Amino acid sequence: MTQFDSLCVNSIRILSMDAVQKANSGHPGMPMGMADVAYVLWSRFLRHNPANPNWYDRDRFILSAGHGSMLLYSLLHLTGYGLSLDEIRQFRQMGSRTPGHPEYGITPGVELTTGPLGQGFATGVGMAMAANVMAARFNKPDMKLTNHYVYAIVSDGDLMEGISHEAASLAGHLGLSNLIYLYDSNRITIDGSTDLTLSDNPVQRFEGLGWDVQVVDGHDHEEIAGAIERAQQSDKPSLIECRTTIGFGSPNKQGSESSHGAPLGEEEIQATRKALGWENPEPFDLPEDVAAWREESLKRGDVAESEWNAMMSHYRELYPEDAKAFQKALHRELPPTSEWEQILPNFEPSEKGMATRKASGMVLNAIKDHIPTLTGGSADLTGSNVTYLEGEGNLSSDNFTARNIHYGVREHAMAAAINGMNLHGGVIPYGGTFLVFSDYNKPAIRIAALCEIPSLFVFSHDSIGLGEDGPTHQPIEHLAALRATPNVQVFRPADANEVAWCWKAAIQHQTGPSVMVLTRQSLPTLDRNGLGDASESERGAYILKKEQGNHPDLIILATGSEVYLGLMALEELRTEGIDARLVSMPCIERFEEQSTSYREEVLPPEVKKRISVEAGSTFGWHRWVGTDGITIGIDRFGISAPFNEVYEKLGVTTERIIQSARELMGSANRRG
């Protein structure tokens, strides 16, 4: 290690401990322990351009151990990303670009919001998958538009989390050789030594999962560099176990959990400065010489991007159609709005109808040729979720041009991988499972919402309508839980044509994840003569059946499979002199975004008599029906029986709607 190397590495340590101390909050130990590894990676290997953090062919760097955020912020400051010392001083403070954990969209150079441990690990697998897809589709023997690695720093905690096991298995199966993870093996967690909780051997585990594994001294620069070089030559994903000392340099706290999640304290900080040979006693005071690292990083980045731009220019000349397709893929280009009506299938009215999961599969196959980047799959439920793109092959280690992904029984990893593909760019990914298993997807859905990325999730078997599988598989609280998550669009269409227009809305939505919630059982395809047009689904809610007079006596609000129950109830109520309106509400979130005038047109505020009906938790529906209304739903677990019997037993029926309407109108004994 040269004197300059030592200066840069210790600058990372000093900035990290000073920022945590000033904030009186944070994690100094991990940044201090991994400073050597991070420095070697960022100074010798990482291909990036600090002047343009979004340059496409950059290497991606993920700090999966996001609690050690000051490691990343120090690197961004020292290599020229425009993250000032003032921002470092404002670590964890209101309005700063240095929040407690890295947040996508707030800080330049942060590739994703890693959030809970394990999410960064699994999201990186999705990034590597997308890079392989783009390379397979667009690289030429003499020109590689996609030629980058996905690096991550992962921790003992990441490797404990179950999601990392799923994602590592998937990465090994797919042979993602562009994936290189640096494991901070400091053998310390918040509670103390990992001996408290771990007896397994991560090296053997990852070897068994199909990874190349190396073990190095995490403070020996040449060992670290040699391991990264070997990993770059591997035909497998790589894990480099870096044996480090947490809190390296702190005389009294290094190697101990006391340096993990709390400031070192002023006295220990001064002792650490002395131990590291740091001459400047003031916090955040860096020597001028360290600026050479920033200058070199900016210079290398400019050269790398300029060379890529020159190659891209030549590529356009030789392969003009591929170049256009490449740019369309990067910009997530979709068919113009004017063409969607011709692209989407139009389903003929049918009393027998079809399950909305089947309609969804038909929609996906109708639009796939118009959106060549659409790529999806399922967590071992492809036939049940109906997510297969016909004729598009199965993605595998030797076929990344295929558009169907078999994720296996790995719901956690699938959802995070979808996020990773979105963040990487060039692919429009979706993934499917049963709605009840959205619990396993929920952390990644939340990350997608935080990152404001358009991840697509397909959830079939959406209610007690799946019948015989019983309470463990019948979702009750899941719609409410998904709707409670900020910035998530939840679609529950009522028939095949609503499915089509909901898919259009979901795919066009760019600033957050969308969820398609679909039935197992068949639903009638509505005859739209005299009903609202299915295209109105895009507005989130619309008048499906208007009252006969000038003003409704009451309003029935329904979603999904219960819309038809509401329609049947409405017809009966009219024979009794109750003039009701039926509102189909496939996406509450989109309805909330509509103008006040439209919302009041659909739900006139003066009409207080309202009934909501949905085969799930009633939680949240009181907002729409008010204190004078009635919510029909299920606030208990389900039953194993044929679905029509379950609906009857749990009281989600046309007759229940009719009885509720009579109650509201004070006409319980009136029958026409």
Catalytic residue set: 411
Q: Is 325 helix (H, G, I), strand (E, B) or coil?
A: helix
Task: Compute CA distances 69 → 89, 210, 298, 332, whole Å.
Answer: 13, 30, 22, 30
Which residue in 150, 145, 147, 208 sits closest to 182, CA to CA? Answer: 150
Helical H segments across 386-437, by residue range: 411-424
**CB of 28 within 8 A of CB of 34?**
no
Can you give 1-58 as a three-state secondary structure string? CCHHHHHHHHHHHHHHHHHHHHHCCCCCHHHHHCHHHHHHHHHHHCCCCCCCCCCCCC
What's the alpha-carbon Rg for the chain, to the nearest Å? 28
Rounded to the nearest 10°, the torsion over CA 365, 368, 373, 374 is: -30
Task: Compute CA distances 559 → 56, 358, 582, whole Å.
Answer: 41, 18, 11
- In whole angstroms, what is the distance from residue 350 CA to residue 277 CA? 80
Burial of 451 (0-12, 13-18, 19+ CB in 10 A): buried
Q: Is 133 helix (H, G, I), strand (E, B) or coil?
A: helix
Beta strands in 186-307 (DSSP E): 188-189, 192-193, 212-217, 238-243
Contact partners, residue 431, CB within 8 Å, separation at least 6: 376, 377, 378, 379, 387, 405, 407, 414, 415, 417, 418, 456, 457, 458
- In whole angstroms, what is the distance from residue 592 CA to residue 624 CA? 11
Beta strands in 139-290 (DSSP E): 150-155, 179-185, 188-189, 192-193, 212-217, 238-243
Residue given tokens 């991988």 in the structure block: 417
8-state DSSP, 511: S
